[in-house]
Amino acid sequence: MENVHLAVEDDDLYSGYNDYNPTFDSEELENDVGFQQAVRTSHGRRPPMTAKFPGTAIGARPLSRIPMASSMGRPMTGAVQDGAARPMTAVRAAGYTSSLTRGSTFDPLGQSRGPAPPLEAKNEDAAEEKIKILEKKVNDLIEESCMAQSMGSLQLALEKAKEAGRKERALVRQREQSGNGDHINLDLTYSVLLNLANQYANNEMYTEALNSYQVIVKNKMFNNAGRLKVNMANIYFKQKNYPKAIKFYRMALDQISNAHKEMRIKIMQNIGVVFVRMGQYTDAITSFEHIMSESPNIKTGFNLILCYYAIGDRDRMKKAFQKLISVPLGIDDEDKYIPSNDDATSNMVIEAIKNDKLHQMERDLKVLAEKYIMTAAKLIAPVIESSFATGFDCCVDMVKSSQYVELANDLEINKAITYLRQKDFNQAVETLKTFEKKDSRVKSAAATNLSFLYFLEKDYDQADRYADLAMNADRYNPAALINKGNTVFVKQDYEKAAEFYKEALRNDSSCTEALYNLGLTYKRLHRLEEALDCFLKLHAILRNSAQVMYQLGHLYELLEDPQQAIEWLMQVISVTPTDPQALAKLGELHDGEGDKSQAFQYYYDSFRYFPSNIDVIEWLGAYYIETQFCEKAIQYFERATLIQPTQVKWQLMVASCYRRSGNYQKALETYKDIHRKFPENVECLRFLVRLCTDMGLKEVQEYATMLKKVEKLKEIREQVHPTAASIDLSGHSSNSMKGERLSAKMRSLPGSNEPYEASNPKELDASYVDPLGPQMERPKTGAKKRVDDDDFADEELGDDLLPE
């Protein structure tokens, strides 16, 4: 079977590939003598033999596992030398080599070498490193100081600035020690000194601030340090050292080039203001006129008018006012912010910019300009012409021809208010009535003021008519709604009045007059909890309003919470410590709580501030009688006699005090004097009979006869007029009257058949009048109020005025 062969197809595509030629056995090359000889001779330079097998070299073993050297001894590319492969330069960057040593692995990232060595640590002890750390600390301290100052922590800002200064000096010393004294950071030094000076100035440590600024200014290495003389001048201005302030302003002006025009204008404006403070109006006018010719602005124009007013120059006042209303504001017209219906993209842009900060700044600038123009017009109108009316007309004509046309109507209203100040009520009314045919806004304002005027005059029908006119012209005018509510309030239609006040609050939630009047209305309707809620809200807005705090105290009293009432009235006293009625009310509350000594203190303080309050006088007199100090009670009843000379009660009390203190002769003289003034007073005759009998005087029979006649006449009158039984023959009512009732138990006069020391206790109930009089319960009116300037303020009828 060994000689038996299977038949094979002649054209086998894959034949010959399994045949192995021992020539390619690289494992035995080291033992191949012929190969080794060929390597050592020139035979190895011949080109290699190619394979004779057809097809590719698949399955062949690589010939490069053992690199061969040339006969010259030069290693070939990729040859192994000393166990390491020579890298191929073209592929070395990617981590490849031309050949691998036996047993090596593919590791292009070098992970087999282990982790990278740690970074070299910084040497913090190095001088340069210490300097960098100190610089960073100084910069951080400056930033912290500025942040503290912006948040209002001035003391903390100063401490941080001082610490930054200490660190910066340590930094300079560190540089000098390291031999880098020439590389001092001047910008950092400048920042430290400037921040320290600013913080000294903010804390009003002006001497230290000036010293710090002086250090910067004198150092020639700091560029533009001369500008800081403006800061120094500002400090001298605050110290009212005006000559030095002007000196430093002028020094700063000399060191600022003409290229910085805006800065120079501001400094000149400061110089003008200092001259005004010094009363040198001519020099101030020179500065302001230069500014108005170079770069006119609203503030300078207003200051120039004030200076002309101070020197009384009428013609130049007119010219300055004309310049003031001609100053360009540089703002866009309001029509720019009205959206159009065509372009949706444009409308979106307008909505975005309509309430942005730039538009808000434009509005504020326009409001400020209108304020200055109105104040200037009200100031100069009475003096630029022979009469104030002519002066107002002149200002109105100039305003009408300017960009502030809408201010002309406001000036007309101020003209009416000037008539009121001159007590010319008819002219004021006539001036305001001219607005009835004007546009709705002006008509509403004029009608509001007219309604207020008629309300003060107690002409409630006319007040109601003009309140309706103001509401029809502008339904969203809260002042008009308040005036309408007031006219309904005085007609005691409190429910309807409350509706008008609520509507005013819906239109303007910050309208304090409407909230106050609504509280009074709820109080009249006995809806005390709602009234309390209104006044508590109002107190959150008007923290120091004595009226609001009194109303809260009175409401707590009505709610039978005297302790809360006392606390609120104590707050009233803290705001108005000399209010006699509030002190008297506190005395009444303490008396009701049984604290007589505290009640006496408050009643006594009330008497000191207002010695004509009959209730307080009566309580003090009764207190001294109750405590057995009748002599001290006499002075109070004598004062009551002066206040109410027709009331026999007080004179009888004076005589009773003399009698109680044992001074019978003085008591007798007082009773006789009372009898001459009130000959038909029964009580007086009874005491005269008793005193004359006990003292053995001859007049006893005469007074007894008179007493019988008067008693008989009294009986006859009672029979004829039964309802007159409570009316004393002296003409005063024996019933309790307002202003004659006590909050303490007061002993009445003893009867004629009782001993002098005995008397029947008689309680007289207390009644209290509101601390601010009847006006406390009157509603506040809704006339507009405007205060325009600190120096020259003028106002329309005030919202918070209470009608007399």
Whether the CB-CB separation of 178 and 127 falls below 8 Å is answered with yes
DSSP string, 518-541: HHHHHHHTT-HHHHHHHHHHHHHH
Residue 476: closest CA among 497, 452, 503 = 503
Tokens representing 589 are 């509350």
Point out which residues pair with 80 in neighbouring strands: 85
Q: Which of 6-15, 54-63, 779-788 ranks highest by mean pLDDT?
A: 6-15
pLDDT for position 303: 93
pLDDT higher at 394 or 78? 394
pLDDT, one tens digit per residue, over 274-286 is 999 999 999 999 9
Topology adopted by domain 611-720: 1.25.40
Q: Which amino acid belongs to residue 433?
A: K
pLDDT higher at 551 or 718? 551
pLDDT for position 174: 81
Whether the CB-CB separation of 619 and 605 falls below 8 Å is answered with no
pLDDT, one tens digit per residue, over 600-629 is 999 999 999 999 899 999 999 999 988 888
Lowest mean pLDDT among 287-301, 423-437, 478-492: 423-437
Burial group, residue 190, by CB count within 10 angstroms (0-12, 13-18, 19+): middle
pLDDT higher at 135 or 99? 135
Whether the CB-CB separation of 221 and 189 falls below 8 Å is answered with no
pLDDT, one tens digit per residue, over 723-782 is 544 434 334 443 333 333 333 334 333 333 333 332 332 322 222 223 333 333 445 554
Who's near 657: CB < 8 A, 6+ residues apart? 625, 630, 631, 633, 634, 637
Residue 391 φ then ψ, to 5°? -65, -40
Tokens representing 326 are 């001609």
- How far is Cα 324 from Cα 297, in angstroms, rounded to an integer? 8
Q: Which amino acid belongs to residue 642?
A: L
What does the radius of gyration of the chain's CA atoms come to, in whole angstroms? 53
Q: What is the dihedral of CA 70, 74, 79, 83, to 10 degrees?
A: 120
Percent of the chain with pLDDT strictly greater than 90: 33
Mean pLDDT over each residue of the chain, to the nearest integer: 77
- How far is Cα 634 from Cα 573, in angstroms, rounded to an integer? 29
Exposure string (b/e) for 74-83, b if CB count within 10 Å is 16 or more? eeeeebbeee
Q: Is the pLDDT of residue 695 over 90?
A: no
Whether the CB-CB separation of 281 and 289 falls below 8 Å is answered with no
- How far is Cα 561 from Cα 594, in angstroms, rounded to an integer? 15
Point out which residues pair with 746 in neighbouring strands: 762
pLDDT, one tens digit per residue, over 228-267 is 899 999 999 999 999 999 999 999 998 888 888 889 999 9
Q: What is the dihedral of CA 513, 514, 519, 525, to 10 degrees?
A: 130
Point out which residues pair with 761 in neighbouring strands: 747
pLDDT for position 21: 63
pLDDT, one tens digit per residue, over 638-683 is 899 899 888 888 989 988 898 888 888 888 888 888 888 888 888 8
- How far is Cα 581 from Cα 776, in angstroms, rounded to an integer? 12
pLDDT for position 405: 80
Lowest mean pLDDT among 319-323, 550-554, 562-566, 660-664: 660-664
**Composition of the chain by helix, strand, coil, percent to 5:** 65, 0, 35
Dihedral of alpha carbons 134, 139, 140, 146, sign: positive
- How far is Cα 24 from Cα 36, in angstroms, rounded to an integer? 14
Who's near 610: CB < 8 A, 6+ residues apart? 580, 581, 616
When pLDDT is averaged across residues 285-292 and rounded to a whole number, the result is 92
Residue 575: closest CA among 536, 544, 540 = 544
